Amino acid sequence: MTDVLAYLETRADAWKAMLREMVEIESPSEDAVAVTRMAEWVADRVAPYATVKFFAGGAYGNHLRCNFKLKGAPRDRRILAVGHCDTVWPQGTLATMPFREEAGRIFGPGIFDMKGGISYFLMALEAMRELAIKPCASISLLLVSDEEIGSLSSRPVTEAESRNASLALLLEPAVGPEGRLKTARKGTGMYRLKVTGRAAHSGIDFAAGASAVSELAHQIGAISGLTNLDRGITVNPGVVRGGTKGNVVAAEAELLGDIRFWKTSDGEAVVRKLQRLKPRDRRCRIEVEASLNRPALERTKAVQRAFQHARRIAAELGIGLQEASVGGASDGNFIGALGVTVLDGLGAVGDGAHAVNEHLIANAMPQRASLLAGLMSRPLPVS
Ligand SMILES: [Zn+2]
């Protein structure tokens, strides 16, 4: 892999120019036209050596899939790289957060999450083509438009595209300045609990009332009991609303929250327990809506094997690759749930996702893009 690394070290300026173009196409999730423009920029760039296809994103931008035409690519194996073109930054952010390089860091909206990761992938492909490195599988790239807002429109596309992949490479940011991969991600769920009681005047007729607020307070105690930090299960009571006036026994109250878990079966168990909650005051009624959004990305045997494979390639590049488990979910969660081996966190090395100090570390590109090239050219050893 040292030839790839040496080549990419000569390409730092070209890479920065490309990255700058990407960052300066602002692409907030809510702006379908802008996000599609970002995808079209990538499509134009790879068009000479890829077949590109757009999938309608409905209210969101279009999703893009590129199948690369690379010499000698085996047809019986498929590697899918996955990323997103949307960012959390509103249109106009560039005015206060321009693309700029300072003391070895490059700043800009969406640069870390995740335009940097897309740029690494494009550099890896460039190196493979320039050096005529044979891929170990057919290579595809999927870029979706709505990851930052839950992947509602892209989820079916992501699932259909990844189903026949032997390995999915997630271009999401790496963890920490040392660039750890993400070999486990928590799954997520959401819930809403609505309590209906009976209103009454708190002075004249207190006992005739059934307080939805008191009932909800009791339920919050029960719900907090579902959190199990040792197992990594959290059930967060996030938002509480209820009541109308200080002197009225509250007729209504509700609670919104989220559920996080390392094992999807733990998340499912929490959903069942929430659905079974019973009112302590029988005069109150409880309605629960609870469901899982993203299954957990579990650190399976196959994921561990893929990580060891990545670690060996990284060692040749001078990277002591480490791994991490993280609480946030990505599209890798959907893909892993299909039984596809996922390596996540292969994107930008830097910091400040969704924050004003969002940046990547400039000199990490040659190593990290080489790692991607290695994963696309060295077959995973069979166990
Ligand atoms: Zn991301």
Task: Convert 328-346 to b/e letters by CB count within 10 Å (16 or more is b).
Answer: ebbbbbbbbbbebbbbbbb
Using the mean position of ligand 1's atoms as its centre, give its distance from the Cα of residue 216 in Å.
35
> Are 239 and 329 within one domain?
no
Using the mean position of ligand 1's atoms as its centre, give its distance from the Cα of residue 147 in Å.
7
> Are 32 and 166 within one domain?
yes
Q: Tokens 């990761």 map to which residue? A: 117
Query: Where does the pLDDT of residue 383 fall: very low under 50, low under 70, confident under 90, or very high at 90 and above?
Result: low
Among 237, 260, 293, the domain boundary falls at 293
Judge whether 383 lies within some domain. Answer: no
> Are 30 and 127 within one domain?
yes
Using the mean position of ligand 1's atoms as its centre, give its distance from the Cα of residue 173 in Å.
7
Percentage of the chain beyond pLDDT 90 is 96
Using the mean position of ligand 1's atoms as its centre, give its distance from the Cα of residue 280 in Å.
42
CA distance 121 to 83: 10
Judge whether 98 lies within some domain. Answer: yes
CA distance 349 to 116: 8
Using the mean position of ligand 1's atoms as its centre, give its distance from the Cα of residue 2 in Å.
29
Which range marks the domain in which residue 285 is found? Answer: 187-293
Using the mean position of ligand 1's atoms as its centre, give its distance from the Cα of residue 331 in Å.
9
CATH number of the domain enclosing 267: 3.30.70.360
Pairing state of beta strands 181-185 and 323-326? parallel
> Are 211 and 314 within one domain?
no
Using the mean position of ligand 1's atoms as its centre, give its distance from the Cα of residue 374 in Å.
22
Using the mean position of ligand 1's atoms as its centre, give its distance from the Cα of residue 297 in Å.
15
Instruction: Give me the pLDDT at residue 280, please.
Output: 97
Using the mean position of ligand 1's atoms as its centre, give its distance from the Cα of residue 326 in Å.
13
**Nearest CA among 2, 139, 159, 127 for reference residue 81:** 139
Query: Where does the pLDDT of residue 381 fall: very low under 50, low under 70, confident under 90, or very high at 90 and above?
Result: confident
**Nearest CA among 135, 130, 116 for reference residue 373:** 135
Instruction: Give me the pLDDT at residue 382, please.
Output: 77
The two tokens of residue 109 are 């909206």
How many CB atoms are located within 10 Å of the residue 26 CB?
A: 20
Structural domain count of the chain: 2
Percentage of the chain beyond pLDDT 70 is 100
How many CB atoms are located within 10 Å of the residue 81 CB?
A: 28
Pairing state of beta strands 252-261 and 187-196? antiparallel
> Are 28 and 124 within one domain?
yes
Mean pLDDT across 29-51: 97
Using the mean position of ligand 1's atoms as its centre, give its distance from the Cα of residue 330 in Å.
7
Using the mean position of ligand 1's atoms as its centre, give its distance from the Cα of residue 265 in Å.
25
CA distance 180 to 174: 5
> Are 140 and 249 within one domain?
no
102-106: Cβ within 8 A, 24+ apart? 104/361, 104/362, 104/363, 105/350, 105/359, 105/360, 105/361, 105/362, 106/16, 106/19, 106/350, 106/359, 106/360, 106/362
Query: Where does the pLDDT of residue 155 fall: very low under 50, low under 70, confident under 90, or very high at 90 and above?
Result: very high
The two tokens of residue 8 are 């990419």
Instruction: Give me the pLDDT at residue 354, please.
Output: 87
Among 270, 293, 316, the domain boundary falls at 293
pLDDT, one tens digit per residue, over 222-254 is: 999 999 999 999 999 999 999 999 999 999 999
Using the mean position of ligand 1's atoms as its centre, give its distance from the Cα of residue 81 in Å.
13
Q: What is the mean pLDDT of the chain?
A: 96
Using the mean position of ligand 1's atoms as its centre, give its distance from the Cα of residue 114 in Å.
5
Using the mean position of ligand 1's atoms as its centre, give its distance from the Cα of residue 357 in Å.
16
Mean pLDDT across 36-64: 97
Among 293, 317, 337, the domain boundary falls at 293
Mean pLDDT across 194-214: 97
Amino acid identity, position 82: V
Model confidence at 328: pLDDT above 70: yes
Instruction: Give me the pLDDT at residue 150, please.
Output: 87
Instruction: Give me the pLDDT at residue 1, please.
Output: 84
Instruction: Give me the pLDDT at residue 198, please.
Output: 97
> Are 178 and 191 within one domain?
no
Judge whether 116 lies within some domain. Answer: yes
245 contacts: CB under 8 Å, gap ≥ 6? none
Amino acid identity, position 23: V
Mean pLDDT across 281-305: 96
Using the mean position of ligand 1's atoms as its centre, give its distance from the Cα of residue 129 in Å.
27
